[in-house]
Amino acid sequence: MVMSAIKETIAPHGGQLINRIATAAEKAEFMAQADSLPRVTLDRRATSDLVMIAIGGFSPLQGFMEQKDYENVVDNMRLVNGIPWSVPVTLSVSEEVADPLKEGSWVRLDDPNGKFIGILELTQKYHYSKAHEATHVYRTDEDKHPGVKVVYEQGPVNLAGPVWLLERDAHPLFPKYQIDPAESRASFIERGWSTVVGFQTRNPIHRAHEYIIKCALEIVDGLFLHPLVGATKSDDIPADVRMRCYEIMMENYFPQQRVILAINPSAMRYAGPREAIFHALIRKNYGCTHFIVGRDHAGVGDYYGTYDAQHIFDQFEPEELGITPLKFEHAFYCTRTEQMATSKTSPSKKEERIHLSGTKVREMLRRGELPPPQFSRPKVAAELARAMKISS
């Protein structure tokens, strides 16, 4: 197949893949002024957001949101220009940090370790309501919700404007799986994939995941297996453990020629339905035409209805989002048929169904129990057990 004859089947969100990685000349100019610029130290989430903006994962965003975009996203899930966008992307700081900063100036952005990694062209600084953001984006004002807790703990002033990432460093843990949107799009073209389904998870892969992934693979050309490795809750399984589990699945249980495993460097918000839209748009920017939305996508606790993350897609016209959600019911292990199924495919009764979840797997591991084969593939379960013993 001739590569030049193959064209991308899906445009980035907003029509253009954003690139905010500094050129050599821009970097030299920024570095020359590094010591004279005011500094803002980013936390882990803001660092991930800077990277995602720069590589085009958050296209059409070119920087942290100005007030009008921020308010419209919080209230209406749209940017001011009408483009759907469901989660605010902001840089929040304290009054003490914000006060001396002047709009129209450059601000040096350092990572949590104090390394100079980016530049913000400060176009605006503004106050916002944390409670309003919490109740609209997360559907609760309870600070025990991990996403709300982050909002309440961050500064009361948002800094806005275009950003530059000085350079794209290799990921410290997973350099071979660092595939940015321009590269994933090129890879899909090279493989001749015109339809690609993206899969998102922050949990170790279990049998229910495998089932819905393979169902999706039946109707598309390829799978973009894209686990999140940015900031997550402290009780989530560490990213390196989860990645080893994905490698085991790739080596033993997936058709390797039809799957690409890559890392998603963004941070979790735990915003449930809104984050399902957010995750779909990110995968659209990576070149996916379809996106798997399962039970309680990006949820936490009991804050969201079981299928709210699927229903929210109905609030948009399909062409507005530009990526097709594949909505799956809650998968379980059916003891009658001795295989994975959903209520659409299984004749079993409630007592014949073993429901799986990342939460249950984590609870079993903490008790020192090995997840049974109905939960996890034995090799995956062994890896999880080994890692949990090491960490405990």
Name the token pair of 60.
Answer: 């059409």
250 touches 261 (CB < 8 A): yes
* Beta-carbon contacts of residue 370 (< 8 Å; ≥ 6 apart): 364, 381, 382, 385
φ/ψ of 323, rounded to 5, equals: -140, 140
64 touches 91 (CB < 8 A): yes
- Is-catalytic flag, 203? yes
φ/ψ of 117, rounded to 5, equals: -125, -15
Task: Give the burial string for 164-195 (b: 16+ CB within 10 Å, else e).
Answer: bbbeeeeeeebeebbbbbbebbebbbebebbe
The catalytically annotated residue of 20, 108, 185, 202 is 202
The catalytically annotated residue of 20, 72, 108, 203 is 203
d(CA 158, CA 142): 22
Q: What angle do CA 87, 277, 72 make, to 5 degrees?
A: 40
- Is-catalytic flag, 72? no
Residues that are catalytic: 202-203
